[in-house]
């Protein structure tokens, strides 16, 4: 079994360290179910978590997502951030826990995916750009059947303008 961390077993791979000895990313592989797997190559913010990464995540049924992601990390050291996340997860009442997560998100204290370029599990090729709260704002896509779309999304994720219809 690979080494462990406070967050569970560490997956096999390579961890990259900067000149100060801090982790700055890595190449990891791990299981995803019985025969499914994932692999990622990521680079981290100083004393933080991933800001850019290539990933392939495949389920037991062979469906997968693969692509390039860019994340915005809070300007809080990861050890402090992880402690805040642990505190929220320990809240027994689910409604109160959801509100605590919402408060962290609104305060900019959660990781948000700002960009994804790749293939989704539904075989759609997509470029999706999100705001600082992780809400998709612009989506360019080509569905599995070849249908292209350009969507501008409102705060709830509803298309307010579909600029291309074939």
94 and 147 part of one domain: no
66 and 82 part of one domain: no
The model's pTM is 0.80
126 and 151 part of one domain: yes
24 and 68 part of one domain: yes
| CATH code where residue 25 lies | 3.90.930.1
In which domain, by residue range, is 28 found?
11-73+111-162
- Whether 1 maps to a domain, the answer reads no
47 and 101 part of one domain: no
- Whether 6 maps to a domain, the answer reads no
Q: Convert the pLDDT of each residue in 119-164 to its tens digit.
A: 999 999 999 999 988 899 999 999 999 999 999 999 888 988 665 5
53 and 89 part of one domain: no
Which two tokens mark 31?
């299981």
Q: Convert the pLDDT of each residue in 28-58 to its tens digit.
A: 999 888 988 999 999 999 888 899 999 999 9
- Whether 90 maps to a domain, the answer reads yes
69 and 118 part of one domain: yes
């Amino acid at each position: 079994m690979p080494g462990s961390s406070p967050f569970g077993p560490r997956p096999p791979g390579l961890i990259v360290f900067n000149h100060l000895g801090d982790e700055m990313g890595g190449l990891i592989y791990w299981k995803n179910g019985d025969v499914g797997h994932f692999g990622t190559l990521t680079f981290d913010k100083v004393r933080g978590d991933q800001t850019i990464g290539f990933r392939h995540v495949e389920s037991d049924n062979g469906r997968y997502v693969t692509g390039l992601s860019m994340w915005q990390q809070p300007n809080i050291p990861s050890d402090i951030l992880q402690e805040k996340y642990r505190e929220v997860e320990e809240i027994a009442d689910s409604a109160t826990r959801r509100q605590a997560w919402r408060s962290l998100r609104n305060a900019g204290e959660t990781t948000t995916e700002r960009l994804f370029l790749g293939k989704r599990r539904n075989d759609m090729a997509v470029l999706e750009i999100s705001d600082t709260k992780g809400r998709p704002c612009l989506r360019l896509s080509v569905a599995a059947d070849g249908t292209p779309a350009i969507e501008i999304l409102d705060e709830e994720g509803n298309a307010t303008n579909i600029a291309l219809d074939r």
